[in-house]
Protein backbone atom coordinates (compact mmCIF):
# COMPACT_ATOMS: atom_id res chain seq x y z
CA UNK A 1 0.00 0.00 0.00
CA UNK A 2 1.35 3.45 -0.89
CA UNK A 3 2.63 5.51 2.04
CA UNK A 4 2.83 9.30 2.26
CA UNK A 5 4.21 11.90 4.65
CA UNK A 6 5.06 15.59 4.74
CA UNK A 7 8.41 16.59 3.30
CA UNK A 8 9.46 18.10 6.65
CA UNK A 9 9.11 14.63 8.22
CA UNK A 10 10.45 12.56 5.32
CA UNK A 11 14.01 12.34 6.65
CA UNK A 12 13.02 11.47 10.20
CA UNK A 13 15.28 8.92 11.88
CA UNK A 14 15.55 8.03 15.56
CA UNK A 15 18.42 9.91 17.26
CA UNK A 16 18.00 8.13 20.63
CA UNK A 17 16.81 11.18 22.54
CA UNK A 18 15.11 8.78 24.93
CA UNK A 19 11.93 10.81 25.51
CA UNK A 20 9.81 7.79 24.57
CA UNK A 21 11.67 5.63 27.12
CA UNK A 22 11.09 7.88 30.13
CA UNK A 23 8.05 7.56 32.42
CA UNK A 24 5.81 5.70 29.98
CA UNK A 25 3.74 2.62 30.78
CA UNK A 26 4.10 0.62 27.55
CA UNK A 27 1.99 -2.45 26.75
CA UNK A 28 3.87 -5.45 25.37
CA UNK A 29 2.35 -8.10 23.14
CA UNK A 30 2.68 -11.76 24.27
CA UNK A 31 5.08 -12.59 21.43
CA UNK A 32 7.40 -9.76 22.58
CA UNK A 33 7.40 -11.12 26.13
CA UNK A 34 8.11 -14.64 24.90
CA UNK A 35 10.93 -13.52 22.58
CA UNK A 36 12.65 -11.36 25.18
CA UNK A 37 12.53 -14.16 27.71
CA UNK A 38 13.71 -16.79 25.24
CA UNK A 39 16.66 -14.66 24.13
CA UNK A 40 17.49 -13.51 27.68
CA UNK A 41 17.46 -9.83 26.73
CA UNK A 42 18.13 -7.74 29.81
CA UNK A 43 19.78 -4.44 30.63
CA UNK A 44 22.85 -4.72 32.85
CA UNK A 45 21.96 -4.06 36.48
CA UNK A 46 18.23 -4.76 36.12
CA UNK A 47 16.91 -7.57 38.31
CA UNK A 48 13.49 -9.15 38.63
CA UNK A 49 10.57 -9.33 36.24
CA UNK A 50 10.77 -7.18 33.11
CA UNK A 51 7.03 -7.29 32.44
CA UNK A 52 4.12 -6.74 34.82
CA UNK A 53 1.07 -8.96 34.13
CA UNK A 54 -2.55 -7.89 34.33
CA UNK A 55 -5.82 -9.61 33.58
CA UNK A 56 -8.63 -7.80 31.76
CA UNK A 57 -12.29 -8.21 32.74
CA UNK A 58 -12.73 -10.66 29.86
CA UNK A 59 -9.92 -12.82 31.20
CA UNK A 60 -7.36 -11.72 28.62
CA UNK A 61 -3.81 -11.61 30.00
CA UNK A 62 -1.92 -8.39 29.26
CA UNK A 63 1.65 -7.29 29.88
CA UNK A 64 3.18 -3.88 30.71
CA UNK A 65 6.89 -3.14 30.42
CA UNK A 66 8.33 -2.46 33.86
CA UNK A 67 10.12 0.75 34.80
CA UNK A 68 13.23 1.12 36.92
CA UNK A 69 13.57 3.11 40.14
CA UNK A 70 14.24 6.29 38.14
CA UNK A 71 11.12 5.89 36.00
CA UNK A 72 12.93 4.74 32.83
CA UNK A 73 11.87 1.73 30.82
CA UNK A 74 13.84 -1.29 32.09
CA UNK A 75 15.15 -1.80 28.54
CA UNK A 76 16.45 1.77 28.13
CA UNK A 77 20.22 1.77 28.53
CA UNK A 78 20.79 5.42 29.38
CA UNK A 79 24.50 4.88 30.01
CA UNK A 80 25.04 2.64 27.00
CA UNK A 81 24.38 5.00 24.12
CA UNK A 82 20.78 5.73 25.19
CA UNK A 83 19.67 2.64 23.31
CA UNK A 84 16.78 0.24 23.81
CA UNK A 85 18.37 -3.15 24.44
CA UNK A 86 15.51 -4.96 22.66
CA UNK A 87 16.08 -2.80 19.58
CA UNK A 88 19.84 -3.17 19.85
CA UNK A 89 19.89 -6.95 20.33
CA UNK A 90 16.83 -8.14 18.38
CA UNK A 91 15.97 -5.36 15.92
CA UNK A 92 13.01 -3.03 15.57
CA UNK A 93 10.58 -5.80 14.59
CA UNK A 94 10.96 -7.28 18.08
CA UNK A 95 9.80 -4.09 19.82
CA UNK A 96 6.39 -3.69 21.42
CA UNK A 97 4.08 -2.19 18.83
CA UNK A 98 3.81 1.14 20.67
CA UNK A 99 7.60 1.50 20.61
CA UNK A 100 7.96 0.37 17.00
CA UNK A 101 5.45 2.99 15.82
CA UNK A 102 6.48 5.96 17.97
CA UNK A 103 6.54 8.84 17.02
CA UNK A 104 4.37 8.03 14.00
CA UNK A 105 0.69 9.05 13.94
CA UNK A 106 -0.95 7.11 11.15
CA UNK A 107 -4.19 7.23 9.17
CA UNK A 108 -4.88 4.37 6.77
CA UNK A 109 -7.62 5.07 4.26
CA UNK A 110 -8.26 4.30 0.58
CA UNK A 111 -5.62 6.86 -0.41
CA UNK A 112 -2.89 4.84 1.34
CA UNK A 113 -0.97 5.03 4.61
CA UNK A 114 -0.60 8.66 5.74
CA UNK A 115 2.15 9.21 8.31
CA UNK A 116 2.55 12.28 10.49
CA UNK A 117 4.63 12.57 13.67
CA UNK A 118 4.02 13.48 17.26
CA UNK A 119 6.45 16.23 18.16
CA UNK A 120 6.70 15.05 21.74
CA UNK A 121 9.71 13.28 20.28
CA UNK A 122 12.50 15.92 20.38
CA UNK A 123 13.92 14.69 17.07
CA UNK A 124 10.51 15.04 15.42
CA UNK A 125 10.03 18.48 16.98
CA UNK A 126 13.34 19.66 15.52
CA UNK A 127 12.03 18.97 12.01
CA UNK A 128 9.70 21.95 12.41
CA UNK A 129 12.69 24.31 12.35
CA UNK A 130 14.79 22.56 9.70
CA UNK A 131 14.61 22.81 5.89
CA UNK A 132 11.63 21.10 4.35
CA UNK A 133 8.17 21.87 3.04
CA UNK A 134 4.57 20.97 3.76
CA UNK A 135 4.21 19.16 0.46
CA UNK A 136 3.03 15.54 0.54
CA UNK A 137 5.73 13.11 -0.58
CA UNK A 138 6.29 9.36 -0.63
CA UNK A 139 7.21 7.97 2.78
CA UNK A 140 10.30 5.77 2.66
CA UNK A 141 12.10 3.66 5.29
CA UNK A 142 12.96 4.18 8.06
CA UNK A 143 9.90 6.43 8.45
CA UNK A 144 7.77 3.92 6.55
CA UNK A 145 7.41 0.68 8.48
CA UNK A 146 6.89 -2.82 7.20
CA UNK A 147 3.41 -4.22 7.88
CA UNK A 148 1.60 -4.59 10.16
CA UNK A 149 1.09 -0.85 10.63
CA UNK A 150 -1.20 0.46 13.36
CA UNK A 151 -3.15 3.69 13.38
CA UNK A 152 -6.63 4.92 12.57
CA UNK A 153 -7.78 2.37 10.00
CA UNK A 154 -10.44 4.06 7.88
CA UNK A 155 -10.19 1.83 4.82
CA UNK A 156 -13.72 0.57 5.33
CA UNK A 157 -15.12 3.74 6.88
CA UNK A 158 -17.29 6.36 5.26
CA UNK A 159 -15.34 9.44 4.06
CA UNK A 160 -15.15 12.52 6.30
CA UNK A 161 -18.21 14.75 6.51
CA UNK A 162 -18.46 18.15 4.85
CA UNK A 163 -21.16 19.03 7.37
CA UNK A 164 -23.68 16.92 9.31
CA UNK A 165 -25.61 14.77 6.86
CA UNK A 166 -23.30 15.29 3.89
CA UNK A 167 -20.25 13.16 3.15
CA UNK A 168 -17.19 14.28 1.26
CA UNK A 169 -16.05 12.13 -1.59
CA UNK A 170 -12.45 11.11 -0.96
CA UNK A 171 -11.15 13.19 -3.88
CA UNK A 172 -12.88 16.25 -2.47
CA UNK A 173 -11.55 15.70 1.07
CA UNK A 174 -8.05 15.13 -0.28
CA UNK A 175 -8.33 18.42 -2.18
CA UNK A 176 -9.42 20.20 1.04
CA UNK A 177 -6.49 18.75 3.01
CA UNK A 178 -3.95 19.59 0.31
CA UNK A 179 -5.38 23.10 -0.13
CA UNK A 180 -5.07 23.71 3.61
CA UNK A 181 -1.46 22.51 3.56
CA UNK A 182 -0.74 24.82 0.63
CA UNK A 183 -1.98 27.77 2.70
CA UNK A 184 0.29 26.89 5.65
CA UNK A 185 3.18 26.47 3.20
CA UNK A 186 2.95 30.09 2.01
CA UNK A 187 5.96 32.10 3.15
CA UNK A 188 4.11 35.43 2.91
CA UNK A 189 1.41 34.60 5.47
CA UNK A 190 1.29 34.64 9.26
CA UNK A 191 0.23 31.36 10.88
CA UNK A 192 -2.88 32.98 12.38
CA UNK A 193 -3.86 34.32 8.95
CA UNK A 194 -3.41 30.83 7.53
CA UNK A 195 -5.93 29.44 10.01
CA UNK A 196 -8.37 32.23 9.14
CA UNK A 197 -8.05 31.47 5.42
CA UNK A 198 -8.66 27.76 5.97
CA UNK A 199 -11.66 28.64 8.17
CA UNK A 200 -13.16 31.03 5.60
CA UNK A 201 -12.65 28.58 2.75
CA UNK A 202 -14.27 25.86 4.81
CA UNK A 203 -17.35 27.99 5.40
CA UNK A 204 -17.76 28.40 1.65
CA UNK A 205 -17.18 24.71 1.02
CA UNK A 206 -19.77 23.71 3.62
CA UNK A 207 -22.42 25.23 1.37
CA UNK A 208 -21.68 22.74 -1.41
CA UNK A 209 -24.32 20.22 -2.50
CA UNK A 210 -23.96 17.33 -4.96
CA UNK A 211 -25.37 17.62 -8.44
CA UNK A 212 -23.45 20.53 -9.94
CA UNK A 213 -19.75 21.22 -9.59
CA UNK A 214 -17.63 18.55 -7.94
CA UNK A 215 -16.56 18.99 -4.33
CA UNK A 216 -12.93 19.30 -5.48
CA UNK A 217 -13.93 22.19 -7.75
CA UNK A 218 -15.78 23.87 -4.88
CA UNK A 219 -12.70 23.44 -2.68
CA UNK A 220 -10.50 25.16 -5.26
CA UNK A 221 -12.94 28.05 -5.60
CA UNK A 222 -13.41 28.34 -1.83
CA UNK A 223 -9.71 28.62 -1.10
CA UNK A 224 -9.14 31.08 -3.92
CA UNK A 225 -11.89 33.35 -2.62
CA UNK A 226 -10.70 33.11 1.00
CA UNK A 227 -7.23 34.58 0.53
CA UNK A 228 -8.21 38.00 1.88
CA UNK A 229 -9.92 36.65 5.00
CA UNK A 230 -9.57 38.06 8.49
CA UNK A 231 -9.89 36.63 11.97
CA UNK A 232 -13.14 34.94 12.96
CA UNK A 233 -14.80 37.21 15.55
CA UNK A 234 -15.66 35.74 18.91
CA UNK A 235 -13.19 32.85 18.92
CA UNK A 236 -11.29 32.60 22.22
CA UNK A 237 -8.01 30.79 22.81
CA UNK A 238 -8.69 30.68 26.55
CA UNK A 239 -11.98 28.83 25.94
CA UNK A 240 -10.07 26.32 23.82
CA UNK A 241 -7.66 25.74 26.72
CA UNK A 242 -10.60 25.29 29.10
CA UNK A 243 -11.98 22.64 26.76
CA UNK A 244 -8.66 20.77 26.68
CA UNK A 245 -8.43 21.07 30.46
CA UNK A 246 -11.88 19.51 30.80
CA UNK A 247 -10.92 16.60 28.54
CA UNK A 248 -7.60 15.92 30.30
CA UNK A 249 -8.63 16.67 33.88
CA UNK A 250 -6.75 14.61 36.45
CA UNK A 251 -4.13 13.43 33.95
CA UNK A 252 -1.76 16.36 33.49
CA UNK A 253 -1.21 17.89 36.92
CA UNK A 254 -1.00 21.68 36.73
CA UNK A 255 0.01 21.83 33.04
CA UNK A 256 -3.20 23.64 32.08
CA UNK A 257 -3.64 25.98 35.02
CA UNK A 258 -5.01 29.31 33.75
CA UNK A 259 -2.59 31.94 32.48
CA UNK A 260 -3.94 35.33 33.51
CA UNK A 261 -4.90 37.41 30.48
CA UNK A 262 -3.99 34.53 28.18
CA UNK A 263 -5.86 35.74 25.07
CA UNK A 264 -4.19 39.15 25.07
CA UNK A 265 -0.76 37.79 26.00
CA UNK A 266 -0.89 35.18 23.24
CA UNK A 267 -2.13 37.66 20.63
CA UNK A 268 0.69 40.05 21.60
CA UNK A 269 3.36 37.39 22.06
CA UNK A 270 6.60 38.74 20.52
CA UNK A 271 7.45 35.41 18.92
CA UNK A 272 4.56 35.92 16.51
CA UNK A 273 6.60 38.63 14.83
CA UNK A 274 9.70 36.43 14.31
CA UNK A 275 10.09 34.66 10.97
CA UNK A 276 11.53 31.38 12.28
CA UNK A 277 8.82 31.15 14.91
CA UNK A 278 6.08 31.82 12.37
CA UNK A 279 7.52 29.20 10.02
CA UNK A 280 7.73 26.69 12.87
CA UNK A 281 4.12 27.31 13.83
CA UNK A 282 2.95 26.85 10.24
CA UNK A 283 4.89 23.60 9.96
CA UNK A 284 3.40 22.45 13.25
CA UNK A 285 -0.16 23.25 12.22
CA UNK A 286 0.35 21.63 8.84
CA UNK A 287 1.51 18.51 10.67
CA UNK A 288 -1.65 18.51 12.77
CA UNK A 289 -3.78 18.95 9.64
CA UNK A 290 -2.16 16.17 7.62
CA UNK A 291 -3.31 12.65 8.55
CA UNK A 292 -5.47 14.00 11.37
CA UNK A 293 -7.85 11.58 13.08
CA UNK A 294 -10.48 14.27 13.72
CA UNK A 295 -11.60 14.13 10.08
CA UNK A 296 -13.01 10.64 10.59
CA UNK A 297 -14.20 11.24 14.16
CA UNK A 298 -15.95 14.59 13.78
CA UNK A 299 -19.17 15.74 12.17
CA UNK A 300 -17.73 18.08 9.57
CA UNK A 301 -14.84 20.18 8.30
CA UNK A 302 -15.44 22.92 10.87
CA UNK A 303 -14.34 20.48 13.56
CA UNK A 304 -10.93 20.11 11.92
CA UNK A 305 -10.55 23.90 11.81
CA UNK A 306 -11.43 24.01 15.51
CA UNK A 307 -8.77 21.36 16.11
CA UNK A 308 -6.15 23.52 14.35
CA UNK A 309 -7.10 26.60 16.35
CA UNK A 310 -6.91 24.55 19.54
CA UNK A 311 -3.48 23.16 18.63
CA UNK A 312 -2.15 26.70 18.14
CA UNK A 313 -3.68 27.82 21.45
CA UNK A 314 -2.10 24.93 23.37
CA UNK A 315 1.34 25.77 21.95
CA UNK A 316 0.77 29.37 23.06
CA UNK A 317 -0.26 28.24 26.53
CA UNK A 318 2.81 26.02 26.79
CA UNK A 319 5.04 28.93 25.77
CA UNK A 320 3.53 31.38 28.24
CA UNK A 321 3.63 29.03 31.21
CA UNK A 322 7.33 28.41 30.54
CA UNK A 323 8.34 32.07 30.79
CA UNK A 324 8.21 34.68 33.50
CA UNK A 325 8.22 37.47 30.93
CA UNK A 326 5.65 37.21 28.15
CA UNK A 327 7.12 40.30 26.48
CA UNK A 328 10.45 38.63 25.66
CA UNK A 329 10.90 36.75 22.39
CA UNK A 330 11.37 32.98 22.60
CA UNK A 331 14.43 31.04 21.55
CA UNK A 332 14.19 27.89 19.40
CA UNK A 333 14.72 25.60 22.40
CA UNK A 334 11.73 27.13 24.22
CA UNK A 335 9.60 26.74 21.10
CA UNK A 336 10.62 23.07 20.75
CA UNK A 337 9.75 22.37 24.38
CA UNK A 338 6.38 24.12 24.01
CA UNK A 339 5.52 22.05 20.94
CA UNK A 340 6.59 18.87 22.76
CA UNK A 341 4.30 19.76 25.65
CA UNK A 342 1.43 20.54 23.30
CA UNK A 343 1.65 17.23 21.46
CA UNK A 344 2.00 15.31 24.71
CA UNK A 345 -1.38 16.77 25.72
CA UNK A 346 -3.11 16.68 22.35
CA UNK A 347 -1.91 13.36 20.94
CA UNK A 348 -1.11 11.24 23.99
CA UNK A 349 -3.45 12.40 26.78
CA UNK A 350 -6.50 13.91 25.12
CA UNK A 351 -8.88 11.48 23.39
CA UNK A 352 -9.49 12.95 19.94
CA UNK A 353 -12.89 11.26 19.55
CA UNK A 354 -14.00 12.94 22.80
CA UNK A 355 -12.75 16.28 21.47
CA UNK A 356 -14.81 15.78 18.30
CA UNK A 357 -17.93 14.99 20.33
CA UNK A 358 -17.41 17.97 22.64
CA UNK A 359 -17.20 20.50 19.79
CA UNK A 360 -19.91 18.86 17.64
CA UNK A 361 -22.37 21.70 18.26
CA UNK A 362 -20.26 24.08 16.14
CA UNK A 363 -21.29 22.04 13.10
CA UNK A 364 -24.97 22.88 13.64
CA UNK A 365 -24.70 26.65 13.34
State pLDDT tens for residues 5-36. Answer: 999 999 999 888 889 998 788 999 999 999 99
If asked whether residues 358 and 249 sit together in one domain, one would say yes
pLDDT in tens, 316-346: 999 998 886 778 888 999 999 999 999 999 9
Q: What pLDDT digit, counting tens, does each position of 222-280 carry? A: 999 987 666 667 789 999 999 999 999 888 777 788 888 999 999 999 999 999 999 99
Q: Is residue 263 included in any domain, yes or no?
A: yes
Ramachandran angles phi, psi of 52, nearest 5°? -100, 125
10 occurs within a structural domain: yes
Same domain, 250 and 278: yes
For all residues of the chain together, what is the average pLDDT? 93
Residue 20 lies in a domain: no
Total residue count of the chain as it appears in this document: 365
CB of 231 closer than 8 Å to CB of 188: no
Instruction: Give the distance from CA 22 to its chain's centroid.
Output: 19
Same domain, 79 and 142: no
Clarify whether residues 128 and 242 are in a common domain. no
Query: Residues 269, 335: contact at Cβ < 8 Å?
Result: no
Beta bridge partners of 64: 27, 52
Same domain, 208 and 341: yes
Is the domain of 286 the same as that of 331? yes
- At 324 the pLDDT is 67
Helices assigned H by DSSP within 80-138: 85-90, 97-101, 122-126
Tell me, yes or no, whether 306 lies in a domain.
Answer: yes
Residue 351: domain span: 161-363
- Angle in degrees, CA 347, 348, 352, rounded to 5: 50
Q: Are residues 112 and 83 in the same domain?
A: no
Query: Which 8-state DSSP code applies to residue 97?
Result: H
Residue 21 located in a structural domain: no
Query: 305 and 243, same structural domain?
Result: yes
* Residue 188 covered by a domain: yes
pLDDT for 56: 76
Q: Domain boundary at 92, 111, 145, which?
A: 92
The number of distinct structural domains making up the chain is 3
Q: Are residues 350 and 294 in the same domain?
A: yes
Domain co-membership, 68 together with 10? no
Q: Which pLDDT value is given to residue 110?
A: 96
**Band of residue 188 on the pLDDT scale cut at 50, 70, 90:** very high
In a domain, 272, yes or no: yes
Q: Are residues 82 and 189 in the same domain?
A: no
Residue 22 domain flag: no
> What integer is the mean pLDDT of 103-116?
97
Residue 1 predicted with pLDDT over 70: yes
pLDDT tens, position by position, 251-267: 877 778 888 899 999 99
CA geometry: angle 259, 261, 263, nearest 5 deg: 95
pLDDT at 106: 98
Is residue 35 located within the same domain as residue 182? no
pLDDT at 39 over 80: yes
Amino acid sequence: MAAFCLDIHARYQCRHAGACCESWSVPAEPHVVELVRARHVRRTGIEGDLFAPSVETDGTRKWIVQRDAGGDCVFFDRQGGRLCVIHRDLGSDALPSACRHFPRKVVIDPRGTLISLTHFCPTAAATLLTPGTLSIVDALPPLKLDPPIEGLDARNALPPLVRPGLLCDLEGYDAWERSGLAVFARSDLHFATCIDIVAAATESIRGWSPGGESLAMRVAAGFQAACGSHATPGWSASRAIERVRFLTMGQVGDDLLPVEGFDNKWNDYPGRRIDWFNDGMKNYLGSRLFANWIAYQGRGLRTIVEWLRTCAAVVGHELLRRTNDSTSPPDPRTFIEAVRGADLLLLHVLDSASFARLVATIEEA
